[in-house]
Amino acid sequence: MSILGAVLTGGRSSRFGSNKAFAMLGGDSLASHARAAIRPYCAEAIQVGGADGIPDQPEPGLGPLGGIAGALDYAAAHGFRCVLTIGCDMPRLPDGLIEALMRREPSYCADAPVLGLWPAALGAHLMAHLSLGHDRSMRGWARAIGAIPIASPHPIANVNTPADLAAL
């Protein structure tokens, strides 16, 4: 299995009020839940961004694409073919969604594009895309590389506020 799992934890968490990667849900952090969701599909799972993760590329503050660029760089340097990314704020995924993503690459969840499968060879393309500086949206980059949007069979729990966490 040559897939690297990457939990993106470098966001500002401005709506949450504190670092949501460390927020607890049922005794585990949100980042731990996200890692557990992707771990069965990956040879290794890492954290990207934040103080404890591998760094975003080419610099912090570029949003999810900076985290994905960091993960793609790490994957290429360590011999991984693809990267399966997930946001730390996605503690629960509908059954079958990751399996659907794994059927094609590149692919991403249409409802939550940070959840995706990206060939490591796209790292240089993403770095070039980020250097242009005008479109840092996940969907914009996904369209630029011809990634396939995969519909989720059910809504995805996404924790953006303390109320979202309480609702889970």
Task: Name the strand (E) or helix (H) holding 132.
Answer: helix 123-132
Max mean pLDDT among 54-63, 106-115, 135-144 falls in 106-115
pLDDT, tens only, 13-46? 888 888 899 999 999 999 999 999 999 999 999 9
Q: What pTM does this model have?
A: 0.95
What is the pLDDT averaged over residues 56-66?
A: 93
> Per residue in 67-113, pLDDT tens?
999 999 999 999 999 999 999 999 999 999 999 999 999 999 999 99
Q: What is the DSSP string of 34-66?
A: HHHHHGGG-SEEEEESTTTSBPPSS-TTSTHHH
Percent of the chain with pLDDT over 70: 99
Whether 1 has a pLDDT exceeding 80, the answer reads: no
pLDDT the model gives residue 149: 98
How many structural domains does the chain have? 1
| Structural domain range at position 76 | 3-167
Mean predicted lDDT score pLDDT of the chain: 94
Q: Is 146 exposed, middle or buried (0-12, 13-18, 19+ CB in 10 A)?
A: exposed
- pLDDT for 48 beyond 80: yes
What is the band of 50 on the pLDDT scale with cuts at 50, 70, 90?
A: confident
Cα(80)–Cα(73) distance, rounded to whole angstroms? 10
Name which of 124, 97, 95 is nearest 108 in CA terms: 97
Q: What is the CATH classification number for the domain harbouring 72?
A: 3.90.550.10
pLDDT at 9: 94
